């Protein structure tokens, strides 16, 4: 059962096999239980991009068991922040939700070397988002 007190973020890209999977994995890794994380695609692929799996493994994050999921209105309704990555037109726009559009290249068909700079860009964006929506409490 989702915790309504936690901020929730939905990452959406076309195939839910690259950008959105990396973003969701970084946010899950960095936020722990401070944020609910979802990802989906407007036209999901059959599997996560192998170059994305390899690039994320290089930084100690395993996305090999992740499965691309279809974007639903329910996923948008359950999220506070919706971040689109190249599929903004297909994402339902609902009142009261915050929408961000991150212009990021699609890693489909690219090797690990091409995915690394994208991975670094996504990590930096996630760190900024996390500082904004769920900063760590100071002791």
Active-site amino acid positions: 13, 87, 91
- The span from the CA of 63 to the CA of 113, in Å, is 17
Query: Vertex 121, ends 26 and 36: CA angle to 5°?
Result: 25
φ and ψ at 45, to 5 degrees? -75, 175
What residues have CB less than 8 Å from 102, skipping those under 6 apart? 19, 23, 83, 84, 85, 122, 125
- The span from the CA of 36 to the CA of 80, in Å, is 10
**Other C-beta atoms lying within 10 Å of the C-beta of residue 16:** 27
């Amino acid at each position: 059962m989702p915790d309504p007190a936690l901020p929730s973020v939905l990452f959406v890209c076309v195939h839910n096999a690259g950008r959105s999977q990396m973003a969701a994995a970084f946010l899950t890794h960095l936020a722990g239980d401070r944020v609910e994380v979802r990802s989906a695609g407007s036209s999901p692929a059959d599997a996560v991009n192998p170059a994305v799996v390899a690039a994320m493994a290089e930084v100690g994050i395993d996305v090999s068991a992740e499965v691309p999921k279809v974007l639903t209105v329910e996923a948008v309704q359950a999220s506070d922040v919706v971040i689109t990555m190249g599929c903004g037109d297909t994402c339902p726009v609902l009142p009261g939700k915050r929408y961000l559009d991150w212009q990021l290249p699609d890693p489909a068909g690219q090797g690990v070397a091409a995915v690394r700079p994208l991975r670094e860009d996504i990590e930096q964006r996630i760190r900024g988002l996390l500082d904004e929506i769920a900063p760590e409490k100071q002791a």
